[in-house]
Amino acid sequence: MIYFDHNATTPLRPEVRAAMEPFLGDIFGNPSSPHAAGRQARAAVEMARQQVASLLGASPQELHFTSGGTEADNWALCGHDQIVTSAVEHPAVLFSAQARRDLGGDVTFIPVDEEGRIDPAAVVDIVGSSDAGVVSLILANNETGTIQPLAQIGSRLRQRSVLFHIDAVQAFGKIPVDVDRLGADLMSLSAHKINGPKGVGALYVRPGTVLAPWTHGGGHDGNLRAGTENVAGIVGFGAAAALRQTDMEEDAGRLSGLRDRLERGVLESIEDVVINGSRSHRLPGTLNISFRRVEAESILLGLDLEGIAVSSGSACTSGTAEPSHVLLAMGREPRLAAGAIRFSLGYQNTAAEVDGVVELLTPIIQRLRALSVY
Ligand SMILES: Cc1ncc(COP(=O)(O)O)c(C=O)c1O
């Protein structure tokens, strides 16, 4: 199998698995227990908190572990009636905001340009003319990899009494992410996008930020998120973050090279394609391409039959292949948006795999176009 779907999820790195294993076996104490077994688990959780915080430029006590990015996004927006967000958010933010609106809240969606980028001045204008309680923006888009100019927005929002939430799930561990440089009050993270385990993430909370408890119970995590911690998952998250701390820069260079090789290969071999997203502000391993006169689902299935895993931008989770809301917000016509494929590369991918994908993709597109009614 050639796996080019790392923005969906990544394989667990062997070092992460090795770090987690003792906590699935002999070290099983409850971190809230005062005895030795509990203290051992607590020490591991706190070590992981430090490892994750360190990659963010945050203090460990500012980090609250969650069940993933979705929970962190939901928590960040809960309790806010006036929300400013963008048209290219992940569904975890989009639907959290819509849920607030269904309860009588007010949500403003900021448009993006044709590269999918937000204009910082537009955010400041909208915030200035509203009673927004929170501005929630994605740092790197999961579909296109487009990176937003959030540091410029964060510095301008600091002068206002509005919270700034950043969904950094796709950016964290792939590009430098620093809570102070970005001016974040709240930030969502997830472990499984960086070769950590699934079902664990975190919400960063700047000191002084008023945040309602998310779950009520035994007083865990400073009474903010009650529930016995997912110790093995948290340890894995910490280990994955620590690996990124050492590997990120080198990996980013290698992945950008592979991504550019893939882009070049497709552009040279297949006509009538359009690159989606910013080419100058983009995640190292992400490439989103629309193939004219073809449905992305058919390309995905064709590649799947060849043992290649990629993603289409459509919202297939709802059972209908709707064109991506991200590409539509960028002004792509629906038919072009419906032909978009996301290739997302990760740490084990090679140049030979990139060349293999280009070679197999070319006849698939030719075949599908020969059958196309467009
Ligand atoms: C930008 C972004 N936010 C949030 C999430 C949700 O994270 P999780 O899968 O950990 O719930 C994802 C996952 O795809 C994402 O890409």
Q: Give distance in angstroms: CA of 317 to centre of ligand 1.
A: 14
User: Is pLDDT at 66 greater than 70 in this prediction?
Assistant: yes
Query: CA 371 to CA 374: how far, in whole Å?
Result: 9
202 C-alpha vs ligand 1 centroid, how far in Å? 11
- Counting residues of the chain whose pLDDT is more than 70, the rounded percentage is 98
Q: Which atom of ligand 1 is nearest to the CA of 142?
A: 16
Examine the pLDDT at 266 and tell me if it is beyond 60. Answer: yes
Ligand 1 pocket residues where CB is under 6 Å:
68-70, 73, 90, 92, 138, 142, 167, 169-170, 190, 192, 201
Write down the H helix ranges in 103-230. 120-128, 150-157, 179-182
Residue 62 and residue 206 in one domain = yes
pLDDT band at 319 (very low <50, low <70, confident <90, very high): low
CA of residue 7 to ligand 1 center, whole Å: 9
Residue minimizing CA distance to atom 4 of ligand 1:
69
**Residue nearest ligand 1's atom 8 by CA:** 69
pTM for the whole thing? 0.97
* Shared domain check, 359 and 331: yes
The last residue of one of the domains, among 214, 244, 274, is: 244
Average pLDDT over residues 356-373: 94
Q: Are residues 222 and 329 in the same domain?
A: no
Task: Please indicate whether residue 319 or residue 349 has the higher confidence score (pLDDT).
Answer: 349
Q: What pLDDT does residue 30 have?
A: 98
Q: pLDDT band for position 356 (50/70/90)?
A: very high
Q: Are residues 238 and 138 in the same domain?
A: yes
Q: What is the pLDDT of residues 216-264, one digit of tens each?
A: 998 888 889 999 999 999 999 999 999 999 999 999 999 999 999 999 9
Question: Both 135 and 239 in a single domain?
Answer: yes
- DSSP-assigned states of every residue in 36-84: HHHHHHHHHHHHHHHHHHHHHT--GGGEEEESSHHHHHHHHHTT-SEEE
By mean pLDDT, which of 110-119, 218-227, 318-327 is the weakest?
Answer: 318-327
Which residue among 5, 70, 166 is best mutated to probe the pocket of ligand 1, counting the most ligand atoms within 8 A of its Cβ?
Answer: 70
Tens digits of residue pLDDT in 10-40: 999 999 999 999 999 999 999 999 999 999 9
CA of 45 to the centre of ligand 1 (A): 22
According to the model, what pLDDT value does residue 158 have? Answer: 87
- Which residues participate in catalysis according to the annotation? 316
Owning domain of residue 220: 14-244
Under the banding of pLDDT at 50, 70 and 90, the label for residue 211 is very high
Ligand 1 atom with the shortest distance to the CA of 8: 14
Ligand 1 centroid, distance to 371 Cα (angstroms) = 35
Does 343 share its domain with 266? yes
Examine the pLDDT at 317 and tell me if it is beyond 60: no
Last residue of a domain, one of 244, 277, 311: 244
| More confident of the two residues 79 and 191 | 191
Mean pLDDT throughout 207-219? 92
**Is residue 106 pLDDT above 50, yes or no?**
yes
Distance set, CA 347 to CA 57, 193, 282, 359 (Å): 23, 11, 17, 21
Q: What is the pLDDT of residue 315?
A: 53
Residues 181 and 144 placed together within one structural domain of the fold? yes
The pLDDT confidence band at residue 67, using thresholds 50, 70 and 90, is: very high
Q: Of 244, 273, 293, which marks where a domain is finished?
A: 244
CATH number of the domain residue 216 falls in? 3.40.640.10
Q: Are residues 184 and 255 in the same domain?
A: no
Mean pLDDT of 326-352: 97
From residue 312, how far is each of 3, 142, 167, 285 by CA, in Å? 14, 12, 21, 16
pLDDT at 298: 95
The whole-number pLDDT of residue 90 equals 97
pLDDT tens digits for 150-191? 999 999 998 888 999 999 999 999 999 999 999 999 999 999
Query: In 353-362, which positions are buried (b, 16+ CB within 10 angstroms) versus exposed (e)?
Result: bbeebbebbe
Atom of ligand 1 nearest to the CA of 71: 11
User: Looking at the predicted structure, is the pLDDT value of residue 201 above 70?
Assistant: yes
CATH number of 285's domain: 3.90.1150.10
CB 362 within 8 A of CB 266: no
Question: Total structural domains in the chain?
Answer: 2
Same domain for 98 and 216, yes or no, is yes
Q: Ligand 1 pocket check: which of 10, 169, 189, 324 to mutate, most ligand atoms within 8 Å of Cβ?
A: 169
Q: What is the number of other CB atoms lying within 10 angstroms of the CB of residue 209? A: 15
Answer yes or no: is pLDDT of 270 > 60.
yes
Residues 328 and 354 in one domain: yes
Q: How far apart are CA 215 and CA 77, in angstroms?
A: 14
Sign (positive/negative) of CA torsion 171, 173, 176, 182? Answer: positive
Please report the pLDDT score of residue 318 as a whole number.
46
What letter does residue 221 receive in the DSSP assignment? G
Q: Under 8 Å CB-to-CB from 358, ≥6 apart: which residues?
A: 262, 265, 266, 269
Tell whether the model's pLDDT for residue 272 goes beyond 50: yes
Mean pLDDT of the residues in the chain: 95
Do residue 19 and residue 76 come from a single domain? yes
By the 10 Å C-beta count (0-12 exposed, 13-18 middle, 19+ buried), 50 is classed as middle
Same domain, 106 and 193: yes
